[in-house]
Structure 1
């Protein structure tokens, strides 16, 4: 679902080729990215292209990414990958540096084509957020929270987001760490304090206010509504409807997380469910619904 939000489509394989540029560190599911400079049928053609490359680096490293099966393309054995890296490296203007290169180039073979370009490894920022000063056992895990923030704002420039049932701020923290313009809110004053402490702990700056969603008057592009906290407040369907109805009032779009099937409740508020998936945590099965 995050992939569809980023790229407009998804892939059943372990890679995707797209013209959409996404920072790989934004997603907890993307391991690496190759910004393609050259594409050719043969490795020799790639070598000829690289020799004419204007992109130079004082120090560089070349990595062959076929360390595993990629789609239907079988992995390339380690000795052969090292040989390919050396061959390509000899075509690049610069000084090889395997330890601390200024530039990393990647090379990969997929379905009969070779691709060469700038390589970027994902940094798992979300892992740093696993250990918060305050946490709840039923809160979303950081990986899912980060994906939800991306589903809500895949292109965050100029987009305003609110999490009016933010709890300890798991989603807010992930969103803030990616530069998403988000504010948090919760009806529980102690939870609000915990959320603010969590945000400050990671040296992030964000706003968490106390109060129900019914008191929100500002309009936002997206609302993220996490309903699983109902497990302890025993919220009724009527109260669920009111929260979602207010989300419809204050936002053009919503990402709703629920442990119950509430499609008809959502549709009664005027939202249309345009995408969905399921996330599991221990015994909890959550539905993540994109509503517009």
Structure 2
């Protein structure tokens, strides 16, 4: 029995390159240095701030003519369709294809599909792409950029993670949400909570500051999400979690000592076996002292400001 393959195309800002690769490793178990990846792992492209689109491969061939013959087999059941060529940009070692040539490819494939084309509101979106000397045709799903809707929150502060970084961190912690129970014990105004909840991740938050807990609850409700946020330190957290996401407090309003940082990480070890830590300080020794091992890491940049992202087990 054949395994379905998916082609993912990526886009990122240069400051996000390392973060995008760490998220890629979490999703697929490996990364690639360029902007297209093929895998049998199915990921909703809208989960990632870096995946541009996903092609679920139905046919592959040596050239467009071979693909055209293959698509004649499709039965759309009366549904309308659209075909898009994905080679608008250079993909890995494959050069981009010009506009007129892409249109010609789309017409060649589209004319062989038994159905009614609709370029505005198709019921089915198909894609065709050439990648590394092969041609592929399949179902196309675009990234809906959900995190953009979360940028303007009722409650905000300047040092919070961006929605893109928060979404990537949630994905690094939880590549597959099914059956995962997650805690964010220093949740602040809930940037990570909003992104995680919007992806169906079972996450709860807590914070020692009642004002930011109020802000976090308000932000979650603003986007029509439901999540539990508790006032109190991590020392009061009970039960067991599959992973903890900890964005270490660091600004002037939540000044934290090295001893307090160590206490947070040590308490996390009590309730979970895995953590993803966001920190502006190098705290490898604290992580090791708490009994964790750093398995993966990257640096997320914003201009000259840097955060370390650490995945630990």
> If the length of structure 2 is used for normalisation, what is the TM-score?
0.91
Count of equivalent residues: 292
Q: Does 1:225 align with 2:249?
A: no
For residues 4-23 of structure 1, the aligned pairs below 5 Å read: 4-23=25-44
Shift in Å, 1:283: 4.6
Query: Aligned pair 1:146/2:162, yes or no?
Result: no
SS in 1 for 2:36: coil
- Partners of 1:56 and 1:93 within 8 A in 2: no
Higher mean displacement: 60-69 or 44-53:
44-53
The gaps in structure 1 that reach 5 residues or longer are none
1:290–1:128 distance in 2 versus 1, CA, 3 Å: same
Q: Which residue of 1 aligns with 2:192?
A: 171
> How big is the shift at 1:282?
4.9
Instruction: Give the one of 50, 62, 66 matched to 2:87.
Output: 66
Match of 2:281 in 1: 260
Gaps of 5+ in 2: 1-21
Report the 3-state secondary structure (helix = DSSP H, G, I; strand = E; otherwise coil) of the residue aligned with 1:191: helix
The answer to whether 1:198 aligns with 2:219 is: yes
Is the partner of 1:16 in helix, strand or coil?
A: strand
Say if 1:187 and 1:211, in contact at 8 Å, map to a contact too: yes
Change (3 A) 1:16 1:257: same
SS at match of 1:220: coil
Output aligned runs, 1:175-190, within 5 Å.
Answer: 175-190=196-211
Aligned to 1:287: 308
Cα offsets for 1:212-266 (capped at 9, x unmatched): 0001111100100110435543322211111001111101210001110010110
Range with bigger deviation, 164-173 or 33-42: 33-42
Question: How much has 1:72 moved relative to structure 2?
Answer: 1.1
Residue 147 of structure 2 corresponds to residue 130 of structure 1: no
